[in-house]
Structure 1
Amino acid sequence: MPGCGSLWRSIAAVERYYDSTAEEEDRRLFKDAYHMLEFIVCMHYITKYLPEKARVLDVGCGSGVYAVELMKAGCSIALVDLSLKLLKLARSKVRRLKLAGRELCVAKGSSTNLMFRSSCFDAVLCFGPMYHLIHEVHRDMTAREIHRVLKHGGVAFISGISLFGVYGEVVKRWPERLLDESHREMFEKGVHRAEWYEPGSAIFTDAYFWKPLELKEYMESFGFETLELAACEGIVTHLDEQVNAISRDREKWSKLLELVMRTSNDPSIVGYTEHFIWVGRKL
């Protein structure tokens, strides 16, 4: 096992990354139609399984993109993130949209050690932390904490970045890196350590890229039953230019969304997507 300093240094690196890219991250899901697919698909599955007026923990809340949508629907949300700059943006949204009072708290914190009592949430959103924890001990801590704070029968929503989707992204954008020895651990084990690269050359901050079925089986081992495993970009993974072009035609865009949603939880599709969502119930 890595030393204590090495373990927490990775989490600190992720915090610095999002502090430095907060404005960009705030816009990411809405920068174009292709990126919106992640938001659209995730909201579909959240809406499908979230109880009305639920008490929700959004850990890794970012700038509050999902939290404000759930507040609008009448949920009470606790927002937690590593990045103070993202939390500042989240607070601003809550005020601007006149949602004050529906946030239980907006607090800096880590998914590895949640500051809430046991069995106090109807649902937990964990969109981000599970694909930034490169050390297994931190993933284990996060899974246990999600299980702990959920009520019996509560629902967890966890996002992942697919290792197979990353393969395709490298081929499309950085084919020269197929021969880069520093990518070996990423290709073989799904671990991307930003510190191994020259400044500005890493494809992301520290990240753990999952095989979707791996995440499903992993969460089941911590006392959850799987309700859904679904692709976000799915059948149009890596086809950003084509998707954005289609989105300019309302009829074609509507048909494409129908196809993406209809096939999103097909096991044949999930593996190759860029982003995916796992939904599970606490046993």
Structure 2
Amino acid sequence: MAGMLRPEVLDYYRRGGERTRLAGGPGRLEFLRTWDVLTRVLPAAPASVLDVGGATGVYAGPLAAAGYDVRVIDPVPAHVADAAALPGVTATVGDARSLPAADRDADAVLLFGPLYHLLERADRVAAWREAARVVRPGGVVVGATINRFASFFDGFVKDYYRDPRFQPVVEGALSEGVHRSETWFTSAYFHHPDEPAVEAAEAGLVVRRQVAVESPLWMIGGRLDEILASAERTGFMLEMLRRVEEEPSLLGASSHVLTIGSPRAGAAGDA
């Protein structure tokens, strides 16, 4: 099963790569914004959710607590063990390109990881196609992608450009979309904002919305922590971000983008 992931990606997650990333700062904003979008686009509980690439269950746990029937599919056995220990969550080792799930098996499918760890376009389309196969008519597929310009901006926010090894990493992402590094994150594909909708449509989905997750606010540094420390200010920030989340001009400045679609009549798994 480990062969599902590139060795450097598997090593990154074995080292606990993402276990605390969503706990504070830009990661916390990413979580809160993603959760806010999910509360508005998912069918009502107790709908079934297939969380593909769901890792340790950072979204699966709260979804189960909210009454959803949640199953995590992830290629990292340690992630699966952690997710399966959460109340109300089941978890299975599996590959986004060939899901261990029947046609029309879920009311919603989340792709919160696979799309940026599959470097080849054909593999990403296969993951979208599998999501289209297993989602029920009237259901929803939500895919998360990392923005093409994320490392370009992050280098200035965190002063990574002081290290001469960083600029070639950025150049690779800008020119080919491929981020190759074992120091800053790991191997990943960074989508241009125009790409996810095209990939999803090719896989048999009708794209309903594209949403900027963090907007440029992920780059404001310590000010973001100050806002997140206040429930009132956090609530106001989330309210304002909802108003501009579908503004096309902001997609390229957000660290992550959510692409939201539904199965097209006649798509795989549709009678």
Q: TM-score, normalised by structure 1?
A: 0.83
Q: 1:185 Cα shift?
A: 2.6
For residue 14 of structure 1, the aligned residue among 9, 16, 33 is: 9
Which stretch shows the higher mean deviation, 119-128 or 225-234?
A: 225-234
The alignment yields a C-alpha RMSD, in angstroms, of 2.1
- The answer on 1:45 being equivalent to 2:37 is yes
Partner Cα separation in structure 2 for residue 263 and residue 190 of structure 1: 26
SS at match of 2:67: coil
* Pair 1:170–1:119, CA change in 2 (3 A): same
Q: How many residues align?
A: 259
Q: TM-score, normalised by structure 2?
A: 0.87
* Pair 1:175–1:282, CA change in 2 (3 A): same
Q: 1:132 Cα shift?
A: 0.8
User: What is aligned with 1:170?
Assistant: 155
- State how 1:1-283 maps to structure 2 within 5 Å: 11-21=6-16, 25-30=18-23, 32-52=24-44, 53-94=46-87, 99=88, 103=89, 105-172=90-157, 173-176=159-162, 177=164, 180-181=167-168, 183-194=170-181, 202-283=183-264
SS at match of 1:26: coil
Q: 1:183 Cα shift?
A: 4.6
Q: 1:274 Cα shift?
A: 0.6
Gaps of 5+ in 2: 265-271
Q: Residue 184 of structure 1 aligns to which amino acid in structure 2?
A: E
List per-residue Cα deviations over 1:182-215 (Å, max 9, x = no partner): 5533220110233xxxxx5x31211000112211
Partner Cα separation in structure 1 for residue 76 and residue 145 of structure 2: 19
Mapped contact 1:220–1:226 kept (Cα < 8 A)? yes
SS at match of 2:102: coil
Partner Cα separation in structure 2 for residue 209 and residue 141 of structure 1: 17
Q: 1:179 Cα shift?
A: 7.8
Q: 1:91 Cα shift?
A: 2.2
Partner Cα separation in structure 2 for residue 178 and residue 107 of structure 1: 37
Partner Cα separation in structure 2 for residue 248 and residue 151 of structure 1: 39
Question: What is the percentage of aligned positions where both structures have the same residue?
Answer: 28
Which structure is higher in helix share? 1
* Pair 1:247–1:119, CA change in 2 (3 A): closer
Q: 1:61 Cα shift?
A: 0.7
Which stretch shows the higher mean deviation, 242-251 or 120-129?
A: 242-251
* Pair 1:229–1:182, CA change in 2 (3 A): closer
Partner Cα separation in structure 2 for residue 208 and residue 250 of structure 1: 34
SS at match of 1:29: helix
Mapped contact 1:10–1:134 kept (Cα < 8 A)? no
